[in-house]
Structure 1
C-alpha cells in the first residue's frame, strides 16, 4: 500500500527527503483493531514535532487525524462493522494515517458525522478530543454552568482553539475571550462564538481591563506558553485555573503558589498510550461531537484544503504549521 513516511528525523521541511512516498505492507488487524481505508487526513503540530524530533530506525508513517471506511475488523471488535464510516485521532505508538490503510483500536474511534463530507470531518478528531478533555476533564467545567465566570484562550485561532471556543460558548455559560494576532484569525475566532477577541502580540492585562475584566477565572494557553507565562500568572484570578497543551522549555510552577492557581496539562494521547481503563471514553466523545455537529451546535474547523495526500502536499502542510500562520485545520483528501 502507498504511504507517506519519514526516514531521517530533523530534516528541514523544504528538503524533498523530509517526507517521501513509499510502498509498505498492508497491516492485519489485531483483536480490537479496525483496518480503515483512509480517505482524508488533517495535519497537526504534533506531526511536525514527531518528524523533527523523534528518531526512527525504519520508515515511519505520520498522521493522526483521519476519516475512512472500515475495511476489516479484529475478532474482538464490538463497536463497528465493515463498511462503517469513521473518524479518529490515532495513537502516538502506532503507524499513522498518511497511508492507504491504517490500524486503529476501536476504543478511540467514532462514527463520522453524517452531515459532513470526508474533508470537513477530518479536521475534527484530535482537536475536538483535546479541547473537550481540557475543558471538561482537566478543568472540570460543568456543562451549562459557570455563569459570571470567564475563560481566556491564548491562540484561539488554531485547531484546538477553534473547537475550544465553540465548546465553551455553546455548552457552558462562561464569558469566552479568545486571542489572535492577525485580523483574519481574529475574525475567525469571533465567527466561532468568542464574546471578545484580544491581540496576544500586545500586553494582555490592559486589553482585559479595557473589557472590564480585571482577571480571568480560567486560562488555557495553546501556544508559546513560555512567552506568556509571566502575564498568565498575573491575569488569572486567585484560586483560578491554568491549562496548557504545548511544550514549554521550562515552567516554574512555584510562581502559581501565591495565588493558589491550579495547573492542568492536557494530552489526548494519554488514554491510548497507556490504555487507561477509561480509554473507551474517546469513542464516546467522538460520537458526542458527531451528534453536536449533526444538530448544528458545533461546526467544522477546516481552514484550508491542500489537495490529495501526497508527499509534496504534506510537506507544504507541515511548512504552514511550522510558520504558525494556520487558521483552523489543514486537510488533505484522497490518494
Structure 2
C-alpha cells in the first residue's frame, strides 16, 4: 500500500467525534467529491463516487451515524485496462438529502429548491468551522477525497487536488488558521494546494490526527537525516584525503626537484632535515612528520618548512625557464 493509502486508511478508521465534527467532515466529502441531482419537481438525490474503499466506508458510516438515514451502496467492477472497483453511495430520500444539504451549508437554512443553493458558500465564515476540532475534521474529509502524500523515502510532498478554485482556497484558509502556509497552483483541470516541506507535512498529519502515519514519516526523516549527515561526513573526509594526498605528492615533487638541481647541501639544516623526512615518509601527515623531526615540531612549523621548500622549487623552475628563454 502507498503512503497515501496508509494515511487514508488511518483517517477512515478513526472513531467518530462529536456531531458537529461529523457534519464538518461530511461537508468536506460532499462538497469536494459528491454530486447533487435535482428532479423536475425539486426532489433531491445525493451521491458520491469513489474508488477508495476506505472513503466509501467512512462516508457510509458518517451519514448513517450522524443523520440516522438509509444509504444505498452499489459496487461496479471494472475490467480491461482500468481494473478495480468504483463505489457508488446514494441518499435517495428527498427529506434526508434536504436535511444534509442544509446542515453542511450547501443549501440555505430555509431553502427548499435548487434556487436556494448557497453558491461559493464560505464554510470558514459559518459556525460549521468555528471550532478547532471541526477544522481538523474538515481537513480529514478533504484529504480523504482530494488528498495525497508521496512516499517520504523519495520526497516530501502533500497536496489537495480540487476541481473548484474556491474549494482549494477554503482548504488554504483552514490550514492558515493552524499557522500553515500552503501554496496553490493550477494543474490541468485541478486547483492544487500543496506543501513540500517535511515539517509542514508533519504538522498537517498532526492536525488531521493521523498519528501513526506521522510517526512513520518522522522515523523515515530521522533515518534520511542520519544517512545525509553520514554522507556529508564521508564526502568531507574523502575531500580532505584527496587534498592531503595531492599536497603530499606536490611536496615530494618539489623536494625531488630541489635534490636533482642544487641538492640538499644548499639548504639550511632545518629545511634539509624536513626534505629528507618527507621523502622517507610520503604517506605521513603533518603531525606525524613533526614527531619524526629532531627536535620535534608542531603542524604549523612543519607546514611552514614544506611551503618554504615549495617556494625554493618554484624559484628554481623559474630560473630554468628564464635561462632556456635566453
TM-score range, shorter chain: under 0.3
Larger fraction in helix = 2
Higher relative contact order (CA 8 A, sep 6+): 1
TM-score of the two chains, using structure 2 as the length reference: 0.24
Q: TM-score by structure 1 length?
A: 0.24
